[in-house]
Amino acid sequence: MRQSSSPSDRLLGGVSGAPDVDTELSDRSLLQAMLDAEAALARATADVGILPAPAAEAIVEQCRADGYDPGALGRAADAAGNPVVALVGELTAAVPEHARGWVHLGATSQDVLDTALVLVSVRALDPLLRHLDAAVDAAARLADTHRDTVLVARTLGQQAAPTTFGLKAAGWLTGLVEARDRLRQARAAQPAQLGGAVGTLAAFGPAGTEVVERFAAHLGLPSSPLPWHTRRQPWLDLAAALGGLLVSTGKVALDVGLLAQNDVGEVAEGGTGRGGSSAMPHKRNPVDSILVTAAARRGPGLVATLFAAAVQEHERAAGAWHAEWEPLLDLLHVAGGAAARCARMLVGLQVHTARMRENLDATGGLVLAEAVAARLAPVVGRGVAHELVTRAAAGPSFRAALLADPAIRAHLSEAEIDEALDPYRWLGSAGRFVDSALATVRGTDR
């Protein structure tokens, strides 16, 4: 039986992750990132003349994940509390004798694991952001196509007043763009970690800061002005950005799920063969909406764990650092799945404009009560206008009640009442808001 360490290949991982993101989160990928850190350390110390070049080359040659067993390293990690100690032991045994004394020179386990988690995060964010780009593009198309498609807005769970589906999609678009911007910023700011035993790099003598710069450069990461062993802002920025992504995709998913309810029927998810029920053959469930919503529910707990672990003592934490590893990887996992499913959901979304108009008209114009009151207010005052319209709204036919009320007809003709009941005349700045959202995203460089 084939075993895989990719989260997507686990029994439940397929409903929460995305395969291309999860590939970067696998045990093998994390192991390779740890070895990449060891290789960069050897190169950096050789660059400044601390480590002999032949020893550095020998170490780099053995920094390939295929030569090590992640499962065995994981089991051995229990003895030291992290997998780096066991990996360093195996790496040392793998290199020629002349290089063994130079393996892991001047570093501590946290340097290797923190840097590896940064590398894994940055690498996983590449496919995640591609999914997010696709979601942004799809939301922009919906906003543009349906700029003037009217539907009823809902507030506090009730029909409220007219809006446009374009404006709803523009709201999704703006949230996704803001989440993408924050993720890009967080990714660019993830630094390498190198501080040695207590953050002084004493083992490197006066060349310590130069080693840090070379180490980061070999990894393609920014260097930190000083070690961040117990200053966890990089993780907090990343966690907050991922949490924001889950909120933004969750908002889209929640709206789609509600709009797709049978008795609403204003949208439907695409995808042949998706959404079936094991018990009810007639059902077509909004699967992507459901799974993205599930991811959004998981996000706050994972983010909270990373924030709770960020208060760390002295120069190295006992337990708080260890509490970060799995929640960070889990957060990347569910965020990747949410981004991929949100993109698929929006790309294939079926928009039923006729049903939107049918639902808008279902109350006989009641959702335009505010518009009628606004026409009366200049002549009778806002309070009286509100009372008159409230009274008319209590009848079986709103339009008929408006036409039959002499206090209203004294100020509004039948034509004026019909104009007030036209939803297209009560959209305010909806179109301009859509245009503004589209202009913003079209001006954003990828």
Query: What is the amino acid identity at position 114?
Result: D
Close Cβ partners of 189 (under 8 Å, ≥ 6 residues apart):
222, 234, 237
20: helix, strand or coil: helix
C-alpha dist (Å) from residue 258 to 154, 334, 335, 348: 11, 22, 22, 17
151: helix, strand or coil: strand
Phi/psi for 205 (5° steps) reads: 60, -145
Strand positions, DSSP E, 65-211:
150-155, 158-164
Quick one: DSSP state of residue 368? G
Is the Cβ–Cβ distance between 248 and 176 less than 8 Å?
Answer: yes
Q: What is the pLDDT of residue 4?
A: 54
Q: What is the pLDDT of residue 272?
A: 63
Measured CA to CA, the distance from residue 157 to residue 366 in angstroms comes to: 16
The answer to whether the predicted template modeling score (pTM) of the entire model surpasses 0.85 is yes
Domains and CATH numbers, the chain: 27-354 (1.20.200.10), 363-442 (1.10.40.30)
Burial class (CB in 10 A: 0-12, 13-18, 19+), 261: exposed
Measured CA to CA, the distance from residue 331 to residue 303 in angstroms comes to: 8
Is the Cβ–Cβ distance between 248 and 178 less than 8 Å?
Answer: yes
Measured CA to CA, the distance from residue 419 to residue 369 in angstroms comes to: 12
Q: If you count DSSP H runs as helices and E runs as strands, how many of each does the chain have, helices first?
A: 19, 4
Tens digits of per-residue pLDDT, 390-399? 999 997 889 9
Residue with tokens 């970060």: 324
Measured CA to CA, the distance from residue 14 to residue 344 in angstroms comes to: 15
Measured CA to CA, the distance from residue 368 to residue 85 in angstroms comes to: 69
What string of pLDDT tens digits covers the 446 residues of the chain? 445 578 877 777 788 899 999 999 999 999 999 999 999 999 999 999 999 999 999 999 999 999 999 999 999 999 999 999 999 999 999 999 999 999 999 999 999 999 999 999 999 999 999 999 999 999 999 999 999 999 999 999 999 999 999 999 999 999 999 999 999 999 999 999 999 999 999 999 999 999 999 999 999 999 999 999 999 999 999 999 999 999 999 999 999 999 999 999 999 998 665 655 444 445 467 889 999 999 999 999 999 999 999 999 999 999 999 999 999 999 999 999 999 999 999 999 999 999 999 999 998 999 999 999 999 999 999 999 999 999 999 978 899 999 999 999 999 999 999 999 999 999 999 999 999 999 998 875 44
Which residues are paired to 267 by β-bridges? 351
Tokens of 354: 């006729």
Task: Catalogue the active-site residues.
Answer: 277, 316
Task: Name which of 446, 414, 365, 381 is nearest 162 in CA terms.
Answer: 365
Measured CA to CA, the distance from residue 278 to residue 439 in angstroms comes to: 45
CB-CB neighbours of 336 under 10 Å? 32
**For residue 362, how far is the Cα from the chain centroid?**
37
Burial class (CB in 10 A: 0-12, 13-18, 19+), 417: buried
Task: Give the up-direction half-sphere exposure of residue 147: CA atoms within 13 A in the CB hemisphere.
Answer: 13
Residue with tokens 């939107």: 356
